[in-house]
Chain A
Amino acid sequence: MSENVVEIQDLWHWYLRGTPLQTVALQGAELEIQSDDLAAIMGHTGSGKSSLIQHLNGILRPHRGTVRVFGNDLADPKLDVRPLRRMVGLVFQQPEMQLFDPTVGDDVAFGPRQLGGTPEEVRRRVRTAMERVGLSFEGFKDRYTFGLSGGEMRRVALAGVLALEPRLLVLDEPTAGLDPRGRRQLLESLRTIHAEGEMAVVIVSHDMDVVAELARRVWVLAGGRTVMRGSVREIFARVEELRELGLGIPQVSELAYELRRAGRDVRADVLTADELAEALWTNSTSPAA
């Protein structure tokens, strides 16, 4: 059964509050995440995506509105957020910039060591986390961290968070700056993590193809507000609205949309190349028939 593990209503947040440089980042954002969710948050640059997800593990606290995560009320100033940070793994934008230990194994072990487990337990967590992101434990644990490629460093950073064994994994722009193969591998890992790790996964992304490929539910932010929500199919069928928000749609959906505008009778909610082929094939008005 899936219940809501995250419930955010009417969330407001200001940066540099109380200074002349104050800016509002969120003004009435909403978000719900279920315990087995695979969700994506989209939005234009500066729409507040990063600010929103930093509320999920108490890095930021709500200035107004309610944020409930695993039953914790984050508006309560007395709440100790440290247990929450273990349940919610947050991977920041460009996490490879945050590595610090000379060897990969030690860097991944940072989190588990903070939790204070036995050496065997730490080792087990590091091994599992590294293999989940496709880095072999024996092959990589003693490698020099700063000698890895960008894509490998990113996977190390992801493993560092996975080693906390969170129940909700949140990633900010996980595929930005990766080459097509790196991106495919990362998406593959995320799918496995979601399936095997029994955790909810939330990604923030600009890349519509990534969203279409991975997510089931989508939340769209604009100007610090939640403006659209729904299943990935529903959202990508609303092409004009997305365009107005300065967002694109997946390439295949784009193609389907243009075909439809050119007078072809194609379903509105195709996401993948196979679906489009099928939609064209079974279409009675297609010239092939």
Chain B
Amino acid sequence: MDEFDFARSVTVGQYVPGTSVLHRLDPRAKLAAFVIVLAAIITSDSYIGNVVGLSAALGLVALAGIPVGYVLSGVRPIVPILVVFTVFNFLFLGNYDPTGSAVLWRQQVALGPYEFNFTVTESSMKQTVQGVVRIIALIVLTSTLTLTTTITGLAKGIETLLAPFRRVKVPGHEAAMVIAIAYRFVPTVADELERLMKAQASRGADFGRPGRLRFVKRARQMIPITVPLFVGAFRRAERLIMAMESRCYIGGKGRTPITLPALGRRDWTAIASAAVFTLAVWNVPWPL
């Protein structure tokens, strides 16, 4: 119904204020705990382990007091890609299965001059299903992190996690700043895009009726949108640089925080629970 209200589905880079445990965790501890849980999700090699990972991610959403539907709406834009990816993996991955696991289904299809081999093996099936579950869990988990953390908190967390690598000349502070700014600007650019589409529609641009063939129409209307979008983005970047420089920002060298509260009990509990969860996912002999 709302033709241009697509900022609604941009959850990347948004912050939802709240008072949940997740909101109150120290960002450094939160980031560490999330990285640990993430490790479990992307490495678990069993169906049940992956489902447990996804459930944990959804559990964290609930803990944060954010509607699950809102977080999942951030997954919606990639659904088409996900579907294509899954279908292709499902049909073709078995052809290249190096593990030699049992073949569940094999079919040869001739389409005109082309011949296709569809093969599904036990291991290719697992990889396909796990791929989807992992990607969704990943998005849900990272969204939960960023939806409950302010941008400065996030930057501080990343910087702390990267601090050990300073010895090998990784510019932790700068990397954190760049990531944080990029993240922060996603909703801003989405807003800008929305405003431009509205303005150009008012000038006669036809983005088509929602639904069929909308993509075609949209592609033709790219230039009136992208040119001002980029002009605006560069202008905004310049202003940001100016604002940072006029506050004497010179990068991370010699910069110290005014307050650096020690991690509290809650923070250590979070890290410990994450570690326990991950070790459990790794070490429980899941039957599937």
In the assembled complex, A223 has its CB within 8 A of some CB on chain B: no
Q: Enumerate A9-65 residues with CB–CB distance to B below 8 Å.
A: 15-21, 54, 57-61
Q: A59-B198, A92-B199, A100-B224 are in contact. Are A20 and B204 (CB under 8 A)?
A: no
Knowing A17-B5, A17-B8, say if A54 contacts B204 (CB, 8 Å).
no
Of A108-116, A202-210, A280-288, which binds chain B? Answer: A108-116
Contacts of B166 in A (CB 8 A): none
Chain A interface, number of residues (Cβ within 8 angstroms): 36
Contact with B along A79-114 (1 / 0, CB 8 A): 010100110011110010111100000000011101
Residue B70 at the chain A interface, CB threshold 8 Å: yes
Please state if A59 and B228 are interface contacts (CB–CB under 8 Å). Answer: no
Contact across chains for B8 and A98 when beta carbons are under 8 A apart: no
Given the known interface contacts A95-B199, A115-B204, the answer about A100 and B227 at a Cβ–Cβ threshold of 8 Å is: yes
The answer to the question of A248 belonging to the interface, with a C-beta cut-off of 8 Å to chain B, is no
Judge whether A92 and B224 touch: CB under 8 Å. Answer: no
B189 CB to closest chain A CB, in angstroms?
A: 14
A90 pairs with B5, CB closer than 8 A = no
Q: Is B136 an interface residue (CB 8 A)?
A: no
A89/B202 in contact, CB under 8 A: yes
What's the minimum C-beta distance from B220 to chain A, rounded to whole angstroms?
10
Say yes or no: is B200 at the interface (Cβ < 8 Å to chain A).
yes
* A57 vs chain B, min Cβ distance (A): 6
- Is the C-beta of B206 less than 8 angstroms from some C-beta in chain A? yes
Q: Does B216 contact A (CB under 8 A)?
A: no
Q: Is B77 an interface residue (CB 8 A)?
A: no
Q: Is the CB of A57 within 8 A of B66?
A: no
Contact (Cβ within 8 A) A57 B202: yes
State the CA gap A175–B228 with chains docked (Å): 21
* A112 to B69 alpha-carbon distance, docked (Å): 42
Chain B min CB distance to A55 (Å):
12
A126 CB within 8 Å of chain B: no
| A111:B5 contact, CB within 8 angstroms | no
In the docked arrangement, what's the CA distance between A169 and B8, Å?
29
Contact with A along B1-28 (1 / 0, CB 8 A): 1111101100000101000000000000
Residues on A with C-beta less than 8 A from B202 are: 57, 59, 85, 89-92, 161
B228 in contact with A114 (CB, 8 Å)? no
Please indicate the chain A residues that have their CB under 8 angstroms from the CB of B205 in the complex: 110, 114
C-alpha gap A161/B198 in the complex (Å): 13
- Which of B1, B5, B206 makes the CB contact (< 8 A) with A15? B5
Are A21 and B14 touching (Cβ within 8 A)?
A: yes
Chain B residue nearest to A100 (CB atoms) is: B227
Q: Is A160 an interface residue (CB 8 A)?
A: yes
Which B residues are CB-close (under 8 A) to A146? 231
B199 proximity list for chain A (CB < 8 A):
92, 95, 98
Contact residues in B for A92 (Cβ distance below 8 Å): 195, 198-199, 202
- Give a binary string over B181-218; 1 marks a CB under 8 Å from any A CB, 0 the rest: 00000000000000110111111111001000000000
Q: How far is the CB of B142 from chain A (nearest CB, A)?
A: 17
Q: Which residue of B lies closest to A57 (CB)?
A: B202
A95 to B228, CA, bound (A): 11
Across the interface, A98 reaches (CB within 8 A) one of B16, B69, B203, B223, namely B203
B252 within 8 A of A: no
Instruction: State how many angstroms separate the Cβ of A10 from the closest Cβ of chain B.
Output: 18
Residue in contact with A61 in the complex, picked from B1, B7, B195, CB distance below 8 Å: B1
Q: Report the minimal beta-carbon distance from A200 to chain B, rounded to whole angstroms.
A: 16
Closest to B232 in A: A97
By a CB distance below 8 angstroms, the chain A residues around B225 are 100
Q: What residues of A have a CB within 8 angstroms of the CB of B223 in the complex?
A: 100
Cross-interface CB contact of B203 among A19, A54, A160, cutoff 8 Å: A160
Q: How far is the CA of A160 from the CA of B4 in the complex (A)?
A: 21
A-B contact pairs, 16 of them (CB 8 A): A21-B14, A57-B202, A59-B3, A59-B198, A59-B202, A85-B202, A89-B202, A91-B202, A92-B198, A95-B199, A97-B232, A98-B224, A98-B228, A99-B228, A100-B224, A111-B204
17 additional A-B pairs beyond A61-B1, A98-B200, beta carbons within 8 Å, are A17-B2, A17-B8, A18-B70, A20-B16, A20-B67, A21-B14, A60-B4, A61-B3, A85-B201, A92-B195, A97-B228, A97-B231, A98-B224, A98-B228, A99-B228, A110-B224, A164-B204
